[in-house]
Structure 1
Amino acid sequence: MTYHLPAGKAGSGPYTVDVTPETAGWGYSGLRVLTLPPGGSHTFDAGDSEWIVLPLAGGCTVTADDAAFALHGRPDVFSAVSDFAYVPRDARATVSSAAGGRFALAGARCARRLPARYGPASAVPVELRGAGACSRQVNNFGAAARAGGADEQGFECDKLIAVEVLTPGGNWSSFPPHKHDEHRPGEEAELEEIYYFEFAAHDGVPGLGYQRVSPSGRGRGTDVLAEVRDGDVVLVPDGWHGPSMAVPGHHMYYLNVMAGPADERAWLISDHPGHAWVRDTWPEQPVDPRLPLYTAPEGTA
């Protein structure tokens, strides 16, 4: 099984990225990236999965269950929080864009059918995690409930958990390395995870970064050390994941999509025992002054 999917290697049909539970060899998580030309549209069947349509660049209109949601979107992932739309399982949905753009469809197989609805950018919790060289920004648009976290309620989904992480150039995120590949009530949740990457260019030069996943002794023994660039995907069925490293001069973005078999939708992780001490150093360090790159807008999107 290949866990690093370079840009152009994971596409299918209208999608530049098309990761399904079948192609990933697991049970729940999926991700599509759809690029539309000006005036373009695309219709898809949700099937047995729930979906969040998230603009990466540009705006769009999403229709599902006789409802229409106008998404303002954003110029790119490094400039603003975006609004989004939730598409329930068993729905037929259409994404259309007058000006064109690029849109992520984060999905998860699920049992419950929740209503289609709109998520305003103003309601997205923007969280700063870590400190010093481990500082990063997390846009918790599709986060699950997390006790003591920035979003204790979370956006309601049945299985899907999705967040955006922005790492300033030269910083490390997903650190200390952590895992969520076994079910331990109240301590760790079993979640399959997808990383989708984009990078800020500098003077027209594309950015890049590095992603590490190391075996935890469970599952497939996933072992990845990948140089990642715009549009790359890394699959994490198990194992310690992190760090995610942004090269100096280029901010790194990744979209995390997670889902798993537990009835409770929760993000519960275990830190690598050899590196967990790093968290104890953060109160003594300032957060990177480049953060936040932006905040959620006030009022409605």
Structure 2
Amino acid sequence: MSEPQILKHGTWDKITPEIAGWEFVSFEVTVFDGQTLSFDADTNERALVPLSGTVTATINGVEYVFGGRTSVFDGLGHCLYIPRDTAATVTASAGAELAIASTPATTKHEIVLVTPADLPLDTRGAGNASRQISTLIPPAFPADRLLVIEVWTPGGNWSSFPPHKHEHDHDGEAELEETYYYRLRKPESGWAMQRAYSPERGFELAETVRDGDICLLPWAYHTTVAAHGHDLYYLNVMAGPALQRTLQAAQDPKLSELANAWPEMDMDPRLPLIPRYPQA
């Protein structure tokens, strides 16, 4: 299995298990310009998340129309879950951006369209570790392996904190491959920092990330901080070998106690940063 790595915007177009050096997660972002995407009725389950624009998926003669936000900072996302053994064709408005996550699945479930009406305006953390999350495909979702989460972090705040890892399958931790796909509210100037580290493996990565970059995390503690004045979005996709669907993570024991103070601290007043629906 390869080490955690960050791929810069323009250097990647699709993450596959072969590229990532792992077994489960595939990820890509398609920008539409009149084309039609076709998915075979294969052994992969898929999650379609419009980052911008409106998307139409046709499955077994039924049309699913979803999306509509102008950017990931305009409103909560939609997600169409497509189970294995299910063919689909997808079209979209010109310029629409569609994130596509997939993983091999052993069981077939039902097609599910998740809309903002199904999602709470959820916040996590406290103080300058406050962030907003939207769990499009949580552990309780009727899927086989896929887990999908949107996260918004106000400029200057920490996210995925305390640092945690999904590396081993045992009580309190699940083995999961994970991608972080980043977007910035100010794409020309915005940036954030991603750290991934493993004392167990003698590994350290600390790197600037910008709009359109992606981080591949097969293991390691990880955390992210948005630069002052630069609101950050990332789309998490996770899947792994565990039989139980769970997001359990092991926190860095040297930092986990910092979360104990959160009940006595205020949430960042900028949160929720993103409304449920796009504003008129």
TM-score (norm 2): 0.93
Name the CA distance, whole Å, in 1 between partners of 2:17 and 2:263.
39
Within-5 A mapping of 1:141-290: 141-144=136-139, 154-185=140-171, 187-201=172-186, 205-217=188-200, 223-242=204-223, 244-290=224-270
Cα distance change of structure 1 residues 46 and 231 upon mapping to structure 2, 3 Å threshold: farther
| Equivalent residue, structure 1, for 2:17 | 21
Name the CA distance, whole Å, in 2 between partners of 1:66 and 1:268.
38
**Offset of 1:92 from its aligned partner?**
2.3
Name the CA distance, whole Å, in 1 between partners of 2:111 and 2:62.
7
Task: Report whether the alignment pairs 1:41 with 2:21.
Answer: no
The letter for the 2-side match of 1:246 is A
**Offset of 1:222 from its aligned partner?**
5.0
Aligned partner of residue 177 in structure 1, secondary structure: strand
Name the CA distance, whole Å, in 1 between partners of 2:270 and 2:61.
42
Question: Is residue 200–residue 206 contact of structure 1 (8 Å, CA) maintained in 2?
Answer: no
Name the CA distance, whole Å, in 2 between partners of 1:72 and 1:165.
17
Name the CA distance, whole Å, in 2 between partners of 1:259 and 1:216.
24
Aligned residues: 275
Gapped regions of structure 2 (runs ≥ 5):
none
**Offset of 1:216 from its aligned partner?**
4.5
Task: Report whether the alignment pairs 1:103 with 2:98.
Answer: yes
Aligned partner of residue 260 in structure 2, secondary structure: helix
Name the CA distance, whole Å, in 2 between partners of 1:193 and 1:222.
17
Within-5 A mapping of 1:32-181: 32-37=28-33, 39-45=34-40, 47-144=42-139, 154-181=140-167
The letter for the 2-side match of 1:47 is D
Q: Deviations over 1:75-130 (max 9, x none)?
A: 11111012221112232222211343101012222111112232122102332000
| Equivalent residue, structure 2, for 1:147 | none
Name the CA distance, whole Å, in 2 between partners of 1:46 and 1:206.
42
Question: Is residue 6–residue 214 contact of structure 2 (8 Å, CA) maintained in 1?
Answer: yes
| Equivalent residue, structure 2, for 1:14 | none
**Offset of 1:48 from its aligned partner?**
2.4
Name the CA distance, whole Å, in 2 between partners of 1:97 and 1:206.
28
Question: Is residue 84–residue 121 contact of structure 1 (8 Å, CA) maintained in 2?
Answer: no
Name the CA distance, whole Å, in 1 between partners of 2:38 and 2:203.
35
CA RMSD, 1 decimal: 1.7
**Offset of 1:169 from its aligned partner?**
0.4
Task: Report whether the alignment pairs 1:10 with 2:12.
Answer: yes
The letter for the 2-side match of 1:70 is V
**Offset of 1:65 from its aligned partner?**
3.4
Name the CA distance, whole Å, in 1 between partners of 2:40 and 2:199.
36
Gapped regions of structure 1 (runs ≥ 5):
12-17, 145-153
% of aligned pairs identical? 39
**Offset of 1:46 from its aligned partner?**
5.8
More contact order relative to length (CA 8 Å, sep ≥ 6):
2
Aligned partner of residue 19 in structure 2, secondary structure: helix
**Offset of 1:252 from its aligned partner?**
0.3
The letter for the 1-side match of 2:104 is R
